Structure 1
Amino acid sequence: MGNILKLQNLKNLESLSLQHFPESLNIQDLSAFLKKYKNVEIEFFFDVNISDGYKNRLDALIDEIIESEVLGRRIRYNDQDEKKLKIMNSRRKSNVEQYDNDV
C-alpha cells in the first residue's frame, strides 16, 4: 500500500476494489490512501483469518470514515458491526442496492 501511495499516474482512477487482504496491510498506509483519493470509490475486503486486534484497528478506521461522511468507502471483514457496514453501503456512489443485501 505504501508503494501504491507513491504512484503518480492514478489521476483517472474512478474505483478500486481489492480482496483478501492479510493482516500485514499497514492500516496507516490504508488510511493515507483513502484520504489521498477522495473521489475514488474504494472497497477493501480482508481475509477471514485476521485477528481481533487487527479488527479493532479496522473498526477505528471505519469510525473515522463514517464520521468524515466521505462517499464511496467500504471496508469489509468477517463478523464486523453490521450497522457500520450498512452506513458505508448507504454511502456508495453506485450500486447501493447490490450491496445492501451483503449483510
Structure 2
Amino acid sequence: MLQICHQEITYDHFKFLFSKVKAVYLYECVVRKKNDEIVPFEKLVKSLRKIKKIHFYDNPSYSSITSNTVKELLKIPHIPKITEVILEKLPEKLDLETFHIYFKRNEHTKFRIRFQNTISETYKIRIEAVVDEIIATKNHDYKIPNIGFAGLPNEKWGKIDSLIRQQNKQ
C-alpha cells in the first residue's frame, strides 16, 4: 500500500510511484500534467494496472472528478478486478445515473461513496432516491454500495449498513 496526503505531484511521478502498487490511498492530492492541467481520476486509475484497492479523497479545490469520470472508468479493462473502491468528498458532477446502472451489475467490487457537503439539494434528493431503491430491493444480485452524504437520515444509513453486513455474511 502506498499513500500520499495533501501533495501536489506530476503525473510522471504518480505513474512512477504507483505503477506496481496494489493498494492506493490518495487524500486530497493533486496530480498535474506538465502543462499544469489536473489529471482526471479515471486517467489515474487507468495507469494503475495492478490496483486491487483504491481510497481516494477528492480535493474540492482542485477536483479530478469530471462529468465523464464514471463512463471513462467503465472502459478500463482492469476495473472489474478492483476489490475495493472508497471515494470521498465527491462533487455532484459525478455521473450518478451511470454509476447507478453500473453498480446494479457489479458483483465483485465493494464501493463506499461519499459526496461533498456542498452538493445541491437536487443532487441529495437523487442520491437518497438511489439509497431508497437499494433499501426497497428484496434480492440484491449485486454488491450493495455504501453510498451517502452528510444529512442522509440515520435510519437510511443504518439500513444500508445492515444490508451490506447481511450480504457479507452470505
Identity of aligned residues (%): 22
Q: 2:94 maps to which residue? A: 25
C-alpha contact 2:111 2:146 (8 A) present in aligned 1 = yes
3-state SS of paired residue (1:91): helix
User: After superposition, where does 1:30-41 map in structure 2 within 5 Å?
Assistant: 30-41=99-110
- Cα offsets for 1:35-79 (capped at 9, x unmatched): 232332111010010111110011111112222353542112111
Q: Structure 1: how far apart are the matches of 2:73 and 2:101?
A: 11
Determine whether 1:83 maps to 2:152.
no
Distance 1:73 1:17, change over 3 A: same
Q: Which has the larger radius of gyration?
A: 2
Q: What TM-score do the two structures reach when normalised by structure 1?
A: 0.79
Q: Structure 1: how far apart are the matches of 2:97 and 2:130?
A: 9
Q: Structure 2: how far apart are the matches of 1:50 and 1:42?
A: 20
Aligned residues: 95
Higher strand share: 2
Q: Structure 2: how far apart are the matches of 1:66 and 1:39?
A: 19
Q: 1:6 maps to which residue? A: 75
3-state SS of paired residue (2:101): helix
C-alpha contact 1:40 1:72 (8 A) present in aligned 2 = no
3-state SS of paired residue (2:164): coil
C-alpha contact 1:41 1:93 (8 A) present in aligned 2 = no
Q: What TM-score do the two structures reach when normalised by structure 2?
A: 0.50
C-alpha contact 2:135 2:160 (8 A) present in aligned 1 = yes
Instruction: Give the AA of the match of 2:132.
Output: D
Ranges in structure 1 where 5+ consecutive residues have no aligned partner: 97-103
Higher helix share: 1
Of the candidates 114, 118, 135, which is equivalent to residue 49 of structure 1?
A: 118
